[in-house]
Structure 1
Amino acid sequence: MTEPIAVVTGGTKGIGLAFSTRLVSLGYRVIACYWSDPESAGKAEADLGARLHVRRTDLSDPGQTADLAEYVLNEHGAPRVLVNNAGFNADRPFLEMTDQEWRRTIDTNLSAPFWLTRALAPAMLAAGGGNVVNIGATTGMRPRLNGANYCASKAGLLQLTKCLALELAPTIRVNALIPGMIDTEELRTRLRLDDPERMRVEVTEAVPQRRIGSPDEVADALEFLIGPAATYVNGQKLIVDGGQFMW
């Protein structure tokens, strides 16, 4: 039996690596793209073996995104699962934000899922369907200071999810998965979570579960969304945040 194909953008570190790892464990051949950290990509490829294929791609570039789709279809075939996970963040006060900071954030977080899904969906439809999971953020539903570009990109991604769910149904299901405070290197650096007192006061007390989540817990949600238990789930947002943001 041919291995099903999965594509995970930003799939070689953090939550994306947890997605790639879980999909490999479920029997998928995974194509994981990355941009800025070849060392992590090489380690992921070495750890996960022949079922993981890494590809360096600047998803803010429509040409490189098209090249990624062409590589997937020509070398591996139509994917069963597409996880639009890659993200870019460039916080700055609105009045000081540059055009480059706006465009790269919007293109990576919103345009790339549009470009990549548009390129892969016809083959997925012809092959009988599959799942698209867009990785959102709670800032797509509520604002934060100095994040106009990021918040706008994630809000747009939620609406894109709904539109694609309408247009690609019933053959392809499209849902949004929204992580909350998840224990990744990026989160620890940004929030200085190596300080136990800061973690307790400023992070865990804001979460009803009184802890931050693990990448594996987000991967559990991905496994649900693409699996047989979720065949009637379409156009929805699944928030995995310990109850911090209730919607």
Structure 2
Amino acid sequence: MTEETGTTGTAAAARLPLAVVSGGTRGIGLAFSRRLVKLGYRVTALYRSDEEVARAAERELGPRLNTVRVDLSDGTAVTEAAEAVLAAYGPPAVLVNNAGMNIDRPFLEMSHDDWRRVVDTNLSGVFYLTRALATAMVESGADATIVNVGATTGIRPRLNGANYCASKAGLLQLTKCLALELAPRVRVNCLIPGNTETDELVERFNLNDPDARRRMLDEIPQRRIADPEQIANALEFLVGPHSAYMTGQKLVVDGGQFMW
């Protein structure tokens, strides 16, 4: 694929099919944005707060990526942002609901705000963004794809994560409901990554400590932590023609850690 710069590159990018990726400027989300650009999409990446990271993503991916700052837990703000995207670029061919938040606490110490912020971002945010874009996706007459990014803890619980586990379990059921209601024009599946080498994972689980890393590896039959590009491989499958008869399903990419 040729490099495009300046006015010519921007005009060419505007003619490409659109992909919207929430949380698309860092970690696994950035790997998704990179892969979708490589596949020939123009990407709109949504982010919550880190302007510096968003600008870095724009510099890296050039005119095929633009970023939009929005708090996914705010339904009104999400609707306004989605309407602006639709007005500028038309309906997306791909929507990736990737943004997520962790606030871990023991259940008996979890505040109302701890619960609300996580569930509002991880579950309600998917509802708000999908609701704002899905009508245009259905009415476009073209086949489209939604990928909701879940978590292994949506199926198997963990300590100190009742808010996160509940939000991701709800996302699995929301995926199935959307697959039923948006068929046959829009396919909806849930991609569930296992432990993936991102800055956030390293920090949360102290993986710079060799003993902590070894304990995690001991739980994974593949004896390795995923690279974000391996998770992007699974996304490529879910948005591509080889999964054309697949909807309402979960795809677990976890090195065999849970084997559901």
**Do the two structures share a fold, i.e. TM-score over 0.5?**
yes
| Counterpart check, 1:33 vs 2:46 | yes
In 2, the alpha carbon distance for the partners of 1:146 and 1:195 equals 21
> 175, 185, 193: which is aligned to 1:179?
193
Structure 2 distance, partners of 1:243, 1:9, is: 27
Q: What residue ranges of structure 2 are gaps of 5+ in the alignment?
A: 1-11
Partner of 1:228: 241
| Residue 117 (structure 1) aligned with residue 130 (structure 2) | yes
Query: 1:165 deviation in Å?
Result: 0.5
SS in 1 for 2:187: strand
Could you tell me the TM-score, scaled by structure 1's length?
A: 0.98
Structure 1 counterpart of 2:205, which letter?
Answer: L
What CA deviation, in whole Å up to 9, does each residue of 1:140-195 have, x standing for no partner?
A: 11111111110100000000000000111111000000000100000000111112
Name the CA distance, whole Å, in 1 between partners of 2:216 and 2:118: 25
Between the aligned partners of 2:113 and 2:80, the Cα distance in structure 1 is 23
Consecutive unaligned residues in structure 1, runs of 5 or more: none
- Once residues 68 and 15 of structure 1 are traced to their aligned partners in structure 2, the CA distance between those partners, rounded to angstroms, is 22
Give 1:199's aligned residue: 213
SS at match of 1:32: strand
Write the letter of the residue equivalent to 1:53.
Answer: N
What amino acid is the match of 1:80?
A: A
**Does the Cα contact within 8 Å between 2:72 and 2:128 map onto a contact in 1?**
no
The equivalences for 1:141-160 within 5 A come to 141-160=155-174
Separation in 2, partners of 1:115, 1:246: 31
Moved more, 75-84 or 64-73: 64-73
| 1:136 aligns to 2:154 (yes or no) | no
2:95–2:145 contact (8 Å) kept in structure 1: yes
Identity of aligned residues (%): 63
Letter in 2 for 1:75: A
Q: What TM-score do you get using the length of structure 2 for normalisation?
A: 0.93
User: For the residues of structure 2 that align with 1:206 and 1:92, how far apart are their CA atoms?
Assistant: 23
- Moved >6 Å (runs of 4+): none
CA distance in structure 2 between the aligned counterparts of 1:104 and 1:63, rounded to whole angstroms: 16
Instruction: Look up the SS of the partner of 2:175 in the other structure.
Output: helix
Equivalence map 1:158-173=2 (5 Å):
158-173=172-187
Tell me the equivalent position of 1:16. 29
CA distance in 2, matches of 1:54, 1:146: 33
Instruction: Tell me the amino acid that sits aligned with residue 70 of structure 1.
Output: E
Superposed CA RMSD in Å reads 1.0
| Matched residues, number | 246
